[in-house]
Amino acid sequence: MTQDSAALEQLRREIDRIDDQLHDLLMRRTSLVGDIAAAKGDRRVTLRPGREAQILRRLLDRHAGPFPKLAVVRIWREIVGALTGLQGPFTVAVHAAGRSTAAIDLARNHFGVVAPLHALRSPGQVVRAVADGEAAVGVIPLTPGTEAADDAEPWWTSLMLESGDAPRVVARLPFAPTPAVKGSAEPPQALVIACRDHDCSGDDRTLAVLETGPDLSRDRLRAILSAAGLEPAELLAIHRHGAQWLHMVEILGHVTAADARLAALVAPKDPVGRIAVVGGYATPFAPEALV
């Protein structure tokens, strides 16, 4: 064996030792998750999207070297998805619109290759599957700025129910988007729903649905929210509901239904007749943050 061959063999053995260490740590992490599940005393899956976002942000903050950041996120998403499934039954319901696989791809990239996915024909079916406990989470494609037809009640209006166990939005996909290709179409997006409130990650967006009269412009709606101390980030959808309009708005920060600023928006003479928090999510990474 030449000196170069011996040096190369030594490097390969070092890589094997590192692989063993990584595998040992992965098995140790799995054991800890099992201990947590045993301590809870039940088999219900506990989703912590905000905590997951904090983990990934911390890892990328400390990351150094040429290994791609996007690959780091994918590795940890696979780990989190697999370990979530070990806590109890974890099924993902996905609205697969037509022949498009975009939402399925988003769900698989976020929840991993292990979680069972069920493709459903409509957003309403996804909401019902989550509400009835047939799926732990649902993934529904999102086209920001869309206006629903008068005769088609959009799925997100069903999230306005005040029941504590009603589905709510808990994540927006992709959490780690790939850089857009110049000249290509807008990349697909989706919202994730689950029967839990959105948790705070430290950098969040809140989704609220506001009911207004027909004469309220988008600019006026933004001004009203800003004046109340609720900074609007994006108008995601709008729907005419009888004589009223429903606006699904993304608001900066983590806002709960008990926030006094929401109650201040609703008054007999104000243009906002009703407001409901329908969830929220940790702010996704900007594509340039993953380069």
| Shared domain check, 277 and 214 | yes
Q: What percent of the chain has pLDDT over 70?
A: 93
CA distance 177 to 189: 9
**What does the CA dihedral 262, 264, 267, 273 come to, rounded to 10 degrees?**
-20
CA pair distance 112, 115, nearest whole angstrom: 6
Cα separation, 119 vs 169, in Å, equals 19
Residues 10 and 55 in one domain: no
pTM: 0.92
CA distance 65 to 241: 53
Q: Is residue 180 predicted with pLDDT exceeding 80?
A: no
Residue 123 has pLDDT above 60, yes or no: yes
71 and 176: one domain? yes
Angle at 161 between CA 149 and CA 199, to 5 degrees: 105
- pLDDT band at residue 2 under the 50/70/90 scheme: confident
Domains identified in the chain, total number: 3
Write the CATH number for 220: 3.30.70.260
**Which residues have CB under 8 Å from 275's CB, separation 6+?**
208, 209, 210, 211, 262, 265, 266
Q: Are 195 and 167 in contact (CB under 8 A)?
A: yes
Q: Judge if the upstream peptide bond of residue 141 is cis by omega within 30 degrees of 0.
A: no
Q: Place 64 in a pLDDT band, splitting at 50, 70 and 90.
A: very high
Q: What is the pLDDT of residues 7-42, one digit of tens each?
A: 899 999 999 999 999 999 999 999 998 888 788 776
Whether residue 163 is found in the same domain as residue 73: yes
Strand partners, 138: 93, 193
Which domain range does residue 245 map to? 204-281
Taken in order 88, 94, 99, 102, the sign of the CA dihedral is negative
Kindly report the average pLDDT of the chain as a whole number. Answer: 90
Residues 194-210, mean pLDDT to the nearest whole number: 96
Same domain, 91 and 68: yes
